[in-house]
């Protein structure tokens, strides 16, 4: 097979054909995939047959893998796999159902956030359950020079509990897994270590506040930035097919799942998350 790269939108995304991710890629093919990820931020591989082990091995070539804090959603003998699923077995959820119904970049609440993620469609709805992706590089580049200058140097607080509680909750019950990750701070603007593009690094899921601003200033600016990132010109809507593997760059985009399906439409996905070792 010959590897082929076909762009999907001008802002982000490409489909990769001629690649079988169930077997180790040659160095030349992996380098081509890596370069395409840096260029397009999101890659779609159709008609894949990925075991959890094969998905882990492919993902690990980009860097060390991260273990999600919600342990009940992990595969027991392959904890690098986080299950996003509305299926049940013996009355118990097989994974985390209806996850990510808000714009976010995976694991920004970690001291070292994610480089990228691989999501594999084991079983997807015949209709619905799409995922939206938006370029944070394009979002920064389309801000006015004055706004770019204002944002450079600002930092924001990120907290895992924010998406679930609408904000930090110091009175949460003891042992709550949401509290296993304390708040962390990251720059609002980060330079992508490989492409050199500046990218916004805030999201409505995990970003609590902008540290250098008042509460009202922070709330209004975050709302503006999140709206600006998700403009139609910068959004790619991926319609899932069984066997799709989607690799995306968390340093250069945000994403959200679309909750337009119900329990009568099975959606079972496997996700791996790659740690970012770069310094910002």
* Range from 14-18, 159-163, 241-245, 274-278 carrying the lowest mean pLDDT: 159-163
pLDDT of 215-236, one tens digit each? 999 999 999 999 999 999 889 9
Q: Is the pLDDT of residue 177 over 80?
A: no
Sign of CA dihedral 232, 161, 252, 22: negative
Question: Which one from 158, 255, 267, 268 is the annotated catalytic residue?
Answer: 255
Interatomic CA distance for residues 248 and 73, integer angstroms: 21
Q: Is the pLDDT of residue 96 over 90?
A: no
- Domain count for the chain, please give it: 1
Question: Which one from 40, 68, 104, 251 is the annotated catalytic residue?
Answer: 104
- Percentage of the residues of the chain whose pLDDT score is greater than 90: 77
**Is 106 among the catalytic positions?**
yes
Q: What is the pTM of this model?
A: 0.92
3-state helix, strand, coil in the chain (%, to 5): 25, 30, 45
**Is 61 among the catalytic positions?**
no
Domain ranges, residue 165: 1-280
Question: Which one from 106, 244, 249, 276 is the annotated catalytic residue?
Answer: 106
Q: Is the pLDDT of residue 168 over 50?
A: no
Question: Which one from 249, 268, 271, 276 is the annotated catalytic residue?
Answer: 271
Q: Is the pLDDT of residue 180 over 70?
A: no
pLDDT of 3-56, one tens digit each? 999 999 999 999 999 999 999 999 999 999 999 999 999 999 999 999 999 999
DSSP conformation class of 183: -
Mean pLDDT of 203-207: 93
- Domain with residue 270: its CATH number is 3.60.130.10
């Amino acid at each position: 097979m010959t590897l082929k790269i076909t762009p999907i939108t001008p802002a982000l995304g490409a489909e990769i054909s001629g690649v079988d991710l169930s077997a180790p890629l040659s160095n030349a093919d992996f380098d081509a995939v890596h370069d395409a990820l840096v260029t397009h931020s999101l890659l779609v591989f159709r008609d894949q047959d990925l075991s959890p082990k094969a998905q882990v091995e492919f993902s690990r070539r980009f860097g060390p893998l991260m273990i999600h804090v919600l342990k009940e959603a992990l595969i027991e003998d392959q904890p690098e796999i986080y299950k996003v699923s509305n299926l049940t077995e013996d009355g118990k959820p097989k994974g985390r159902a209806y996850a990510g119904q808000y714009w976010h970049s995976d694991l920004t609440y970690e001291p070292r956030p994610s480089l990228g993620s691989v999501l594999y469609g084991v079983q997807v709805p015949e209709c619905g359950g799409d995922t939206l992706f938006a370029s944070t590089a394009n979002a920064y580049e389309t801000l006015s020079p004055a706004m770019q200058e204002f944002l450079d140097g600002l930092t924001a607080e990120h907290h895992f509990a924010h998406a679930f509680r609408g904000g930090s909750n110091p009175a949460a019950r003891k042992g709550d897994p949401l509290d296993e990750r304390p708040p962390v701070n990251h720059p609002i603007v980060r330079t992508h270590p490989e492409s050199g593009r500046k990218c916004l690094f805030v999201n409505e899921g995990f970003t609590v506040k902008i540290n250098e601003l008042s509460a009202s200033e922070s709330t209004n600016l975050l709302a503006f930035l999140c709206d600006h990132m998700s403009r139609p010109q910068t959004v790619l809507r991926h319609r899932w097919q069984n066997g799709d593997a989607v690799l995306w760059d968390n340093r250069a985009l945000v994403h959200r799942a679309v909750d337009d399906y119900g329990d009568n439409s099975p959606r079972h996905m496997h996700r791996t998350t790659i740690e970012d070792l770069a310094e910002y």
